[in-house]
Structures are given as C-alpha cells and as structure tokens.
Amino acid sequence: MYQEFYNFKEFPFRLSPDPAFVCMTEQHREALSGLIYSVCTRPGLSVLIGEAGTGKTTILYTLLGMLERRQYVTAMCTNPTLSREEFYDFVLMKFGVNSPSTSKTRQLLALEDTLKKQRAQGRFAVLILDEAQRLPAELLEEVRLLLNLETPREKLLEIVLAGQPELADTLRRQELRQFKQRVGCMCTLRPLNPEELGEYIQHRLKQAGRSEPGLFSEAALDLIYAYSGGIPRLINTLADTALRTGFALQSESITPFMIEEAARELELTHPTRHEHAIADNDVVACLDAKLREHALAEGSAGSTEERMPLESYTSRQKSLGFFTQWVGRWK
C-alpha cells in the first residue's frame, strides 16, 4: 500500500468529510466564521452555497463538532428526499421530543415546548440540512414553519441550509420570496485557485503524517488544477489515484506523467490548455512509454521543485481577525 511507501500515518485524500483534514483557505474560514456568527446571533436561517465537491459537507461537520463540544442540541439531515412525516419524525427524534401524536400541530407544540426547556438550560438548538437543493417545495414549507418557533426575543431553532447553486436559484423564485426574506446569512464556497490548491494538498499531506514539501512536483500540481478545476473532491480522487500510480512505479515523487495516468484511469476530460497537450495518440503512447521507462529507472519522471504557498496557513489565519475572534473561541 502506498501509505507505508510514502510514510503516511493514514490516507491523505479520503473522500469522507473528516473535519481533521479540513483545509481552512481564506474562503473556507469566511464561510465557517459566517455560520458561527449566525449560530451566535441566531437570525433563524443561514445558507451555505457551493458547487458539488467544494467542501460544504466538511465545513458542516466542522461546525457540528464545534457545536457539540459546546453542548448545543444539534440535528444534521443529509437526506432531503424525506416525506413530510419522515422529516418531522427525524426532527422530533433528534431533538428528544416525545410526541405520540401524528398531528402536525401537536408535534410542533411538543417541539416548541422541548426547545424552550432546552433553552432554559442554556442549550441552543441547531438544525442542519445538507443537499438542500434537492428539498421539495413541501419540505421547504415545513422548514419555514419551523422558523416560526420563537420567543419575543429570539429564535428557538437556528436552521442551516447547505446546497449547490441550484438552491440559490430556488430561493429566488417568486413564490418563495417570504422564505428568502428570512435568510440572515449567505455564505459561498468556490473552487480553489491554483495557490489554494497547493496549500490544500500540502495541508492534507501534513495531516496524514508527511510534513516534507515536494512530494507533488510543481508541474503535477498544475495538471491537477487543470483536470480538477479546483474542486476539492476531484483533487482528492486524482491525487489518491496518482499516489497509487507512483507507488506502482516506486517513484519518490508524483510527476505530471502520473497525474496524466490517473486522469485517464478516472476518465477525466483532458485540459484544453497545458504544456503536455498532444493531439496525436501514437505520439502520446510513445511518450508515455518513455516516461514510464524513465520513471522506473530514476524513480522520478519530472521536476521535484518544491511548491511553496505565497502565504502560510498560520500567517493567513492570523490576518483574519474576524475568524480568529469567533473560531478561536470555539475550538
């Protein structure tokens, strides 16, 4: 396994949303700090928008861990295709509500009573709904009703919706204008830029136990960006596959050739513009054979020049006073 060959304590590019591996780029710090601020000020409804694979679920699990350590009452739903009855069953179960009645009115009253008791104990309630772009109109209406659970001073339930850009399109619909007016915070995640990609990969390698830079060559990182478009999920898949290729070739570094091999295995679209673009398939096959032969002979098929981020994680974190103020108090 490449884990031992590259001196990892664990696999660095797993697809599971493990908060221990979250890389706090500037935009991720801003999104998380916005959600934390909303939980503290409790406007009622917060929204996190991002393309598939940009790290929304990882941010949500990071937030969830922070909330649970501070004794918040939390519920996270990752299945937005529930029926109304299943949705209420989930909410009542997660918030510890005992309501044998199937009447929605009685269920809402029981939920409100439970949330008031928890609030009197100093415990706030937060409901997180992931993949919210798939929420049917029926469930969006139920979410709106839950926002009516409040005292004269504050909301009893803070709700966080996270979804792909289609969620923002849904909220712009005329029939949902009242729902959108309740959004107190809108956070956005975008694909990583090339600098953030280098920071992201180095962070995950370090979390897995390898702090030495230079495992991925500069040219290899450029190719990962070209193939992935800066989407963290694609970056993980491509990097993991390239590491397996590197292990098979017993190469001490990951080179452009290995990224190309991984991309072909994953059937990713070839980037239209980079220095390795060649139209003739025969030439490609010949070049690949020579690169493979060279990799086996030398243990490296490309540049081993280190890629250093323009600004380190620590210094960038310190420069964000808002994030330090909120997240620093929550860790």
CA 230 and chain centroid, separation: 13
Residues 228 and 171 in one domain: no
What pLDDT, on a 0 to 100 scale, did the predictor assign at position 280? 38
Give the CA dihedral 186, 191, 197, 199, nearest 10 degrees: 0
Q: How many residues does the chain have?
A: 331
Q: Over the Cα atoms of the chain, what is R_g?
A: 23
Residues 126 and 226 in one domain: no
Q: Are 255 and 220 in contact (CB under 8 A)?
A: yes
H-run or E-run covering 46: strand 45-50
Residues 197 and 182 in one domain: no
CA 75 and chain centroid, separation: 18
Domain of 70, in residue numbers: 26-191
What stretches in the chain show pLDDT beneath 70? 270-331
What pLDDT, on a 0 to 100 scale, did the predictor assign at position 177? 86
pLDDT digits (tens, 9 = 90+) for 204-240: 999 999 888 889 999 999 999 999 999 999 999 999 9
d(CA 171, CA 83): 20
Q: Are 36 and 330 in contact (CB under 8 A)?
A: yes
* Structure-block tokens of residue 51: 């393309």
Residue that terminates a domain, selected from 160, 191, 222: 191
Residues 116 and 53 in one domain: yes
User: How many other CB atoms are there within 10 angstroms of residue 62's CB atom?
Assistant: 23
pTM: 0.79
Among candidate residues 228, 237, 215, 205, the one with its CA nearest the CA of residue 274: 228
In the chain, the number of structural domains is 2
d(CA 279, CA 290): 17
Residues 210 and 169 in one domain: no
In a domain? residue 85: yes
Q: Which residue has the tokens 């010949």?
A: 286
What pLDDT, on a 0 to 100 scale, did the predictor assign at position 213? 85
What pLDDT, on a 0 to 100 scale, did the predictor assign at position 269? 82
* Structure-block tokens of residue 121: 């104990």
Sequence letter at residue 31: A
Residues 168 and 30 in one domain: yes
Residues 54 and 67 in one domain: yes
Residue that terminates a domain, selected from 171, 191, 211: 191
